[in-house]
Amino acid sequence: MSLRLLRVCELIKRELGVIIGREIKFEAPLVSVRAVDITPDLKNAHVFISAIGTTWQKDEAIKTLNDKRQHLQHEIARRVILKYTPHLHFQLDESIERGTRVLSLLDEIEPTLPPDEPLPDEEHREQQ
């Protein structure tokens, strides 16, 4: 991705975050813009949203953003000067939940040894 596209993505992400935080109310306790991925022609932008709450609250947050898409695009057009204002596509970003699940699974399979007992690899090294 070119430097210009990265800068445009960051600018749209920042502006959308401000607009959403000030103007839109959600059922979910916390809704934030995680990332923006824009096509090279600058006509479409995929906006990845992180929402904390129940599945219903997350779905409602995406539905609310899709309902307010025209207003958000208009605000982006006012704040960010581009030849084309990108068409916004909102998607739920569940990477945080997946990461948390992986970490909890790793914790479950971690061997439970008494604190002063060395791990099997450490015993083998000490004997050499």
Tens digits of per-residue pLDDT, 46-83?
999 988 888 898 889 899 999 999 999 999 999 888 88
pLDDT at 114: 58
Q: Is 126 or 22 the better-scoring residue by pLDDT?
A: 22
Q: What is the CA radius of gyration of the chain?
A: 22
- Residues making up the chain, counted from first to last: 128
Pairwise CA distance, residues 111 & 107, whole Å: 9
Is pTM beyond 0.85? Reply is: no
pLDDT at 116: 62
Query: Do the domain assignments include residue 106?
Result: no
Query: Do the domain assignments include residue 128?
Result: no
Range of the domain at 74: 3-96
CA dihedral (31, 93, 78, 38) in degrees, to 10, reads: 170
Which domain CATH number covers 30?
3.30.300.20
Query: Do the domain assignments include residue 42?
Result: yes
* Total count of domains within the chain: 1
Query: Do the domain assignments include residue 38?
Result: yes
Instruction: Indicate if the pLDDT at residue 92 is higher than 60.
Output: yes
* 3-class DSSP assignment, residue 25: coil
